[in-house]
Amino acid sequence: MSLFGEKCARCGTRTRNKEDDKAICEICAQEMHLLIEAGKEALRVCPIDGTTMRKEIAQVVVIDRCPTCSGVWLDGGELDQMRNGAESEALMLMATGLAYPM
């Protein structure tokens, strides 16, 4: 291992963090754990067009995104988590108006 660490296998950032013998930065490691957890949840179906939604990570929150209409589903509490964790204005804009009426 070099003095500056190795490149994260996912995003290329230099890191000293390692998992399963692969260099992976702490942010990517956290996201991967979230995705693994999310994979255990039931897949959601888009309420608009019935497409199976994909799990995505946004600011360490798992969201369900529809590949057809780009609609996003947030679990109860996820929007609050995003609000609390939101650092970028862009994310706040993205999060506004995304929750479908139940």
C-alpha distances (whole Å) from 94 to each of 30, 40, 65 are 22, 26, 12
Which of 35, 43, 60, 69 contacts Zn ion by CB under 5 A?
69
Which of 23, 28, 61, 86 contacts Zn ion by CB under 5 A?
28
Which of the residues 82 through 101 are near Zn ion (CB under 5 A)?
Answer: none
| 23 lies in the site for Zn ion, by CB under 5 A | no
Which of 37, 68, 85, 93 contacts Zn ion by CB under 5 A?
68
The enclosing H or E element of 31 equals helix 26-39
